[in-house]
Amino acid sequence: MSHDEARKIRLIMSLRGRGITDRAVLGALERVPRELFVDPAFLDQAWEDRALPIAAGQTVSQPFIVAFMTQALGLTDRTKVLEIGTGSGYQAAILARIARRVYSVERHGELLQVAEKRFAQLKLHNLHTRHGDGWKGWAEQAPFEAIIVTAAASEAPPALLEQLGEGGRMVIPIGASSDVQRLMRYRRQDGEILEEKLLDVRFVPLVRGAPRAEGWQ
């Protein structure tokens, strides 16, 4: 057994011990090579349970948080998912191993280009991406059974709540300050939006507005 394989097994066992019991989620964490999504400078930490920096001032989330948020969505192989914040592509790759179809929006063009190459390498053909404003979601593909937001917003974006289908779930960090954020789950039930606090978290902010050109075509 290689050193990386041993660290992966320890991580999966640790996640189980912390309440990650969804077999599909654990299976996706095992199958997706996290080392593909981290900066080469942090390759030795790829299977550690910690967030790691990537380009554009963003991060690849801690595996526990990725697993927890994914489990909180209650995905099946029939679920249509919207992800806000493609980033490195790691969370999207996990979703694509479980759900029927994943739509992911990223405002940083250079991050999206790199993530798309990783998706192609992994042959994730059920994953679709867009360069755009995450606050607006992806209205043309709505409604969604699940929405996941991987950056913190001051409030639940109204456009995303509108794109949530009946019975759908949205998991999103809420908090204007990086020191005070709550991971929330919103459910659409009988036309109403119900909310539930899950745990305290720390995420980069969800930037509102049109993405910068960044020389990206």
Does the pLDDT at position 210 exceed 80? no
pLDDT attached to residue 213: 56
Residue 154 falls in the annotated catalytic set: no
Cα four-point dihedral sign 155, 161, 164, 169: positive
Q: Are 148 and 73 in contact (CB under 8 A)?
A: yes
Alpha helices for the chain (secondary structure H): 3-17, 23-31, 63-73, 90-96, 109-121, 158-162
pLDDT attached to residue 178: 66
Mean pLDDT of 151-178: 94
Q: Which residue out of 2, 14, 61, 178 is catalytically annotated?
A: 61
Closest CA to 171 of 101, 106, 116, 91: 91
> How many Å apart are CA 151 and CA 145, to the nearest integer?
19
Q: Are 81 and 103 in contact (CB under 8 A)?
A: yes
What is the percentage of the chain residues whose pLDDT exceeds 70?
95
CATH 3.30.930.10 correct for 3-201: no
CB atoms inside a 10 Å sphere around CB 18: 12
Q: Which residue has the higher pLDDT, 106 or 179?
A: 106
Closest CA to 172 of 193, 191, 190: 193
How are beta strands 80-84 and 59-60 bridged, if at all? unpaired
Look over the chain and give the mean of its residue pLDDT values, rounded to a whole number. 93
pTM of the full predicted structure? 0.94
